[in-house]
Amino acid sequence: MRKFIALALTYAIVQVLIMTNVISGYFQATLVTVCINIILAVSLNLITGFTGQFSLGHAGFMSVGAYVCALVTMRISTIPGFILGVISGAIAAAILGGLVGLPTLRLRGDYLAIATLGMSEIVRIIFLNMEITNGAAGLNGIPQFINWTWLFIFTAGTVLFLANFVKSAHGRACISIREDEIAAEAMGIDTIRYKVIAFIIGAFCAGIAGAVYSSYFYFLKPDLFGFLKSVDVLVIVVLGGLGSMSGSILAAILLALISTYLQSFPEIRMVLYSLILVIIMIFRPQGLMGSKEISLSVFNKLGRNKLWNITKSRKGGL
């Protein structure tokens, strides 16, 4: 209950701020970026932080979602068309997620990372050379459907669904894979199935993020979704803490603000990001939040059902 009140409040406040133009056009773009990054970060966190599968190809899933949605909405420029676009973009991304997941599943951490990177690059090169995506010139004039309401629905929806998933038995199965894959198998958990599930869900959400991107920024080209984009998301997840949903949200907001501030100095931004990665890994590998979550016990003085929180602190990353 408390959750819903907090969410409704957030929605209302921002909506008012937008309508009264406190949050003007420039900041609106930042807001959209923050929300897209939140969706990307929590979904990558599911794959890498909770299930322990190091994926460097998240941008590939996003780009599939973005392009498919754009191609649909450019032909059916209505709200139902938009909804269709988002759904088909997400599903297309999810299918890619399953395809990526299946063969790469028995690879060890670093190999898996390279394989996912390779897959994402293959996707980028394919989009670069396809006619329907207009190759390097990209797609322009994509109908814009994203407003705060849609944005809020997608962002809050993704975060809620994923947070719920992680607290369920299926989420626990994913976490057990990260903890000790062999023991998890021995306890009856189909590790292959759950790894694929994690990839599919993660990719689905990244697809949504991509659809949101194309339906707001109205211009797409393949190079937007290269390795650098995957690294961007990785930095957010690492900074926030692998295995912490609230950490991802915090870090997404923080880094979006930094990004916007450093917009005119892209090299400095990247140097800063790279230093963040190195320094965090050496000095605080659990990131800002470790694997703890911000609990709403600030608003709730009663005791918590321990199932709600997966609270632990970890050292040493995965």
Partner 1 sequence: MEKLLQQIVNGITLGSIYALIALGYTMVYGIIKLINFAHCDIYMIGAYVGYFCMTFFKLGLLPSLLIAMLVCTLLGVLIERIAYRPLRNAARISVLITAIGVSLFLEYGTMFFVKANVRTYPEVTGLLAQRFKIGNIIISMQQVILISITVILMALLQFIVKRTRLGKAMRAVSMDRDAAQLMGIDVNSTVSFTFALGSALAGAAGILVGIYYNTINPLMGVVPGLKAFIAAVFGGIGIIPGAMIGGYFIGAVEVMVAGYGNSMYRDAVVFAILILILIIKPSGLLGKNTREKV
Partner 2 sequence: MPILSVEKVTKSFGGLAAVSNVSLDLVEGELVGLIGPNGAGKTTLFNLLTGIYMPDTGTISLSVDNERIPLKGLRPHSICQKGLARTFQNIRLFKDLTVLENVLIAMHQNIKYGLLTSFLHLPAYKREEGKLVEESIELLRIFDLDKKKDEFAKNLPYGEQRHLEIIRALATNPKLLLLDEPAAGMNPAETANLMDVIGWIREKFDLTILLIEHDMTLVMNICERIYVLDYGMVIASGTPEEVRTNKRVIEAYLGEDVGNA
Q: Which residues bind partner 1 (CB under 8 A)?
A: 54, 103-104, 107-111, 113-115, 117-119, 121-122, 125-126, 128-129, 182, 227, 231, 234, 238, 266-268, 270-271, 273-278, 281-282, 285, 316-318
Inter-helix orientation angle 25-44/191-217, to 10°: 170
Minimum CB distance to partner 1 smaller for 64 or for 86: 64
125 binds, among partner 1, partner 2, none (CB under 5 to 8 A by kind): partner 1
Given a contact cutoff of 8 angstroms between Cβ atoms, the answer to whether 15 and 148 are in contact is yes
187 binds partner 2 per the rule CB under 8 A: yes
282 binds, among partner 2, partner 1, none (CB under 5 to 8 A by kind): partner 1
Minimum CB distance to partner 2 smaller for 61 or for 194: 194
Task: Single out the residue of 98, 141, 133, 89 nearest to residue 119, CA to CA.
Answer: 98
73 binds partner 2 per the rule CB under 8 A: no
Task: Single out the residue of 200, 180, 201 nearest to residue 191, CA to CA.
Answer: 180
CA 232 and chain centroid, separation? 11
C-alpha neighbours within 13 Å on the C-beta side of residue 218: 9
68 binds, among partner 1, partner 2, none (CB under 5 to 8 A by kind): none
Candidate residues 37, 55, 120, 191; the one interacting with partner 2 per rule CB under 8 A:
191
169 binds, among partner 2, partner 1, none (CB under 5 to 8 A by kind): partner 2
* Integer Cα distance of 224 and 85 in angstroms: 20
* Integer Cα distance of 306 and 222 in angstroms: 45
261-290: contacts with partner 2 (CB under 8 A)? none
Given a contact cutoff of 8 angstroms between Cβ atoms, the answer to whether 63 and 127 are in contact is yes
Minimum CB distance to partner 2 smaller for 33 or for 291: 291
Shortest Cβ distance from residue 71 to partner 1 (Å)? 21
The sign of the CA dihedral 87, 252, 170, 153 is: negative
Task: Single out the residue of 9, 32, 16, 24 nearest to residue 151, CA to CA.
Answer: 32
Shortest Cβ distance from residue 279 to partner 1 (Å)? 8
310 binds partner 2 per the rule CB under 8 A: yes
Candidate residues 1, 132, 137, 182; the one interacting with partner 2 per rule CB under 8 A:
182
* Integer Cα distance of 193 and 208 in angstroms: 23
Interface mask toward partner 2 for 119-158; x: CB under 8 A: ----------------------------------------
Task: Show Cβ contacts of residue 133 under 8 Å, excluding neighbours closer than 6 positions.
Answer: 67, 71, 127, 139, 220, 222
129 binds, among partner 2, partner 1, none (CB under 5 to 8 A by kind): partner 1
Minimum CB distance to partner 1 smaller for 42 or for 56: 56
Helix (DSSP H) and strand (DSSP E) numbers for the chain: 12, 2
